[in-house]
Amino acid sequence: MKIQLEINKKVYNIDLSEPLDISIGLRGNEKNPIAWYLKPPKINAVRDGDFVGKVSEGASVNFNNIQFNPHAHGTHTECVGHISTEFFSINQALKQFFFQAKLISVTPQKKGEDLVISEEILQKQLQKGISEALIIRTLPNPQEKIGRNYSHTNWPYLTEAAATYIRNNGIKHLLIDLPSVDKEKDDGRLLAHKAFWDYPKNIRHDATITELIYVPNVIPDGDYFLNLQIAPFENDATPSKPVLYKIIEK
């Protein structure tokens, strides 16, 4: 199904029949991505007396409990409520779901014992006002990312200046293939989160960060439309399913 979208007096053509899913599915085992020192998520049939919620064990339906943490166990989207003393819900913060987006691939640079995504790296690929959403794929990009245990790995992260640069370029929705835009162990400073949301000075309540995506190598860098689908959790973060659509030239 092909449709036309008009944004700022410019017409775009996209094909809804060719979605590019960049989310990581949730699995109840060790093959699931894991961060923040938690154990894998659990997906288990409800057991109550003689009842077991599995058709294969005689029940009429499959009836599972799911135990997971959105920040640690897969693709998730969060709002400023993730770092604020006041409660803010992602389900209330995100009210639009379709955005112009730019996908870029970056190789983090060495800084001491860390690998960082700096402002200088982003300046080479990002221009002001070009998109509403930015998707960052870090290199190298092995498929092993979809099941990686990130705990105690000191993953790459955005510098405070890089996050500020993204904000100042008008990006409201930032997506990245890491467990966090910040350093794993930073003593709670959360400099990139705070810079992106401009917290606590001029909080951008409608801005979101999506982490633990995976963008396969077959998807080239460039301009897309993003459908940012979320589960309606009244929480600071929720599991999400970002989907890209190619822009079709006339």
What is the rounded distance in angstroms from the CA atom of residue 151 to the CA atom of residue 129? 35
Sign of the C-alpha dihedral, residues 15, 97, 75, 188?
positive
What is the rounded distance in angstroms from the CA atom of residue 196 to the CA atom of residue 134? 12
The reported pLDDT for the residue numbered 157 is 98
What count of other Cβ atoms lies within 10 Å of the Cβ of residue 181?
26
C-alpha neighbours within 13 Å on the C-beta side of residue 213 = 29
Q: Is residue 115 part of a domain?
A: yes
What is the rounded distance in angstroms from the CA atom of residue 135 to the CA atom of residue 101? 7
Q: Is residue 125 part of a domain?
A: yes
Range of the domain at 241: 2-26+69-248
Q: Is residue 39 part of a domain?
A: no
Q: Is residue 195 part of a domain?
A: yes
Q: Tell me the pLDDT of the chain (250 aa) as tens digits.
A: 788 877 667 788 999 999 999 999 999 999 999 999 999 999 999 999 999 999 999 999 999 999 999 999 999 999 999 999 999 999 999 999 999 999 999 999 999 999 999 999 999 998 877 799 999 999 999 999 999 999 999 999 999 999 999 999 999 999 999 999 999 999 999 999 999 999 999 999 999 999 999 999 999 999 999 999 999 999 999 999 999 999 987 5
Q: Is residue 166 part of a domain?
A: yes
Tokens of 230: 């979320």
The reported pLDDT for the residue numbered 250 is 54
Helix, strand, or coil (residue 52): strand
Q: Is residue 46 part of a domain?
A: no
The reported pLDDT for the residue numbered 5 is 75
C-alpha angle with apex 78: 15 to 98, nearest 5 degrees?
A: 20
> What's the domain count of the chain?
1
Q: Is residue 45 part of a domain?
A: no
Beta pairing, strands 173-176 & 133-138: parallel
Q: Is residue 152 part of a domain?
A: yes
The reported pLDDT for the residue numbered 6 is 73
| Domain at 116, CATH number | 3.50.30.50
